Structure 1
Amino acid sequence: MMVVFQNKIIYMPSVPPFSRSEKVSDYARQCQPVVWTEHDLRAADNTKIKLLEGTIGVTADSKPRGHVVVLYFQGNASSLPPRLPYLSSILKTATNAQPGGKQYTIVALSYRGFWKSKGTPSQAGIELDVDATLNWVLTRYDPDRTRIVVWGQSIGAGAATVGLANLLRDGEDGLRRVSGLLLETPFVDLKAMLIGLYPQKFLPYRYLTPFLRSTWDSKSALQTIGKVKPNLKVLMLEAGDDEIVPRGQGAVLENICKKEGMAVDRKVVPGALHTEVLIKGQGRNHVVMFLQSI
């Protein structure tokens, strides 16, 4: 049963209840002055997906010196609207710290089957969603004044790394435009997660790994990325009290980045549970400082 229904176990768009009926307008006041705009997009298989684009209006006299666009991939549960106040706080802090400096934008993807996006979630399908979103960002923003950062949280970290590696199927130009990679509470792959969570050999879970249809193999993806973009800046954020991702996962990925020559920095946010990195001031500060360094 676990093998048959694994996608329903891994991807939980309806947790907590009513997640798919959340509205951006319900969080608008908490997000001010950041304004979030909805965009419709279609993946390669014609599945309709939803993007949210958040930015602070640029006045005529502010003349920002550059533009940092952050592409955000969420974790495996809930929807985007409840995350918007936290993402908005990143935009506000980064902008206020550099008045008249850079402009910051966050583009957040709602995977298929999540929130207003159509379809049913699976790794194969979400990879198509990520491909479409990356291409949308690369096409939408001026390459001469824009720096792109890809940010993934939990399973979204897998979507981020695998998505960047997949860019190479169309050549190296797309990946070379990416300046930063932010991995929040990442894991090596889902196989390593199973073994880490259930190390006891008498339990059946570790023996299910050959049947996984979703792997989100960040280790292999980072190795592929590093061959083409060894100067990529990488920030890994771990939750100090993470109850989901076993200890040591981030360290493995950090070593992979170092072997490939990438400029990687791994930070632990003390006292944070798996979904609390952005709730903690220290976690938000790490994100803001990383974006300002791009």
Structure 2
Amino acid sequence: MMTVIFQDKIIYMPYMPPFARSEKMEDYTSVCKPVEWEHKHIKSLDGTKIALCVGNIPNPLLEVTMTGRKKHVVICYFQGNGSALPPRLPLLSNTLKAINAQNASPGGETTYTLVALSYRGYWTSSGRASQRGIEQDAQALLQWISGTFSAPSSDLDLILWGQSIGAGVAATAAATYLKDKASPDPPVTGLVLETPFSGIKSMLIALYPQKWLPYRYLWPFLWNHWDSIAALRSIAAGSQKPQVLILPATRDEVVPPGEADKLERVSREVGLPTLRKDIIGALHTEATTRREGQDAVARFVSNVSNGKNLR
């Protein structure tokens, strides 16, 4: 009973490690150059104040040399269930630098911005974390991006990237955003699922396989589900089919290896263009701290933004 009642505190850990909520962005940005980061606050759909980190690599020459219609790709990052955004900024900066390096050809007219969401209850965001609240935060983020970065002279694309429980947030956010929209604008063109699991129910069964333990039977009483399989099916039913990158870590000590297999199988079955890249030897939080993981995300973003299909 206590596990059900306190599930939000068990699943979401903004208080770990200690002092995570008092982290300062300025303590990390010096090692992020040439990526520049801004700390912003917006309102969620229910009015809760939520924090964002917005990063890009300034390119003053782009406006001067641009001859045609410009493309702007915004990568939306959804974190795992612990810690805060500032310690993640060096990792995100390295990935953004790798993306820009992939697209450093002369005459390139695509700009990349990375926007990381701090869920309610995390870091400097108000409120308490729950699936319902975080879903509202994610939709508010997508609305803010559309209103902030849309411009008559450029085409705006969205790529959603989530790590661990953030992969469930990303998949669910994409499904909600694309649902019942004949032509979503801006479009979601890519979905990165890093060290993902298929859902809370599946994780309970995988972590507690003993039938005599009560935990595997608690899922009907949960209000946190993060069902990525249902989200992928919903996405595939829409008019827009983003490409999917599944990025498991082969030594993941948290998520069983079968979880990535399930997601890959369903993603391919429902007709989503799908790529899988296993990061050999990586633990749960190491997939994109390693160069091969960063390069995999960078190649995927580059190919998607340049219209290359995985098939």
Name the TM tier (shorter chain). Answer: over 0.9
Partner secondary structure for residue 236 of structure 1? strand
**2:82 corresponding residue in structure 1:** 77
1:118 to partner: Cα distance: 0.1
Counterpart AA for 1:79: A
1:113 aligns with 2:121: yes
| TM-score w.r.t. length of structure 2 | 0.90
Matched, 1:289 2:299: yes
In structure 2, the CA distance between the partners of 1:34 and 1:6, relative to structure 1 (3 Å rule), is: same
State the 1:171 CA deviation.
2.7
- The amino acid of 1:236's aligned partner reads I
1:171 partnered with 2:181: yes
1:1-294 equivalences under 5 Å are 1-60=2-61, 61=64, 63=66, 66-99=71-104, 100=106, 101=108, 102-142=110-150, 144-168=154-178, 171-174=181-184, 177-229=187-239, 231-294=241-304
Q: Deviations over 1:98-134 (max 9, x none)?
A: 2252321100000000000000000011111011001
**Distance change >3 Å, CA 20–CA 36, structure 1 → 2:** same
Structure-2 change in CA distance of 1:58 and 1:86 (3 Å): same
Residue pair 2:264, 2:276 contacting (<8 A) in 1 also: yes
Gaps of 5+ in 1: none
Q: Contact 1:167–1:175 at 8 Å: present in 2 too?
A: no
Q: CA deviation at 1:231?
A: 3.5
CA contact (8 A) 1:12 1:76 kept: yes
- For the aligned residue pairs, the C-alpha RMSD in angstroms reads 1.7
Q: Which amino acid aligns with 2:147?
A: T
Q: Is the Cα contact below 8 Å between 1:176 and 1:229 reproduced in 2?
A: no
Hey, what's the Cα distance between the residues in 1 that align with 2:182 and 2:5?
37
What's the secondary structure of 1:147's corresponding residue?
strand
Report the count of equivalent residues: 294
- Give the distance between the partners of 1:183 and 1:96, measured in 2 at CA: 22
Q: Residues 44, 170 of structure 1: CA spacing in aligned structure 2 closer, same or farther, 3 A cutoff?
A: farther
| Contact residue 239 and residue 276 of structure 1 kept, 8 A | yes
Say whether the 8 Å CA contact 2:198–2:227 is kept in structure 1.
Answer: yes
SS of residue matched to 1:270: coil
Deviation at 1:168, TM superposition (A): 4.0
Q: Is the 8 A contact 2:45 2:136 kept in 1?
A: yes
Counting aligned pairs with the same residue, the percent is 47
Tell me the SS of whatever aligns to 1:3: helix
User: Which whole-Å CA distance do the structure 1 matches of 2:186 and 2:274 have between them?
Assistant: 17
Q: Any conservation in 2 of the 1:168–1:175 contact (CA below 8 Å)? A: no
Which 5+ residue runs of structure 2 have no aligned equivalent?
Answer: 305-311
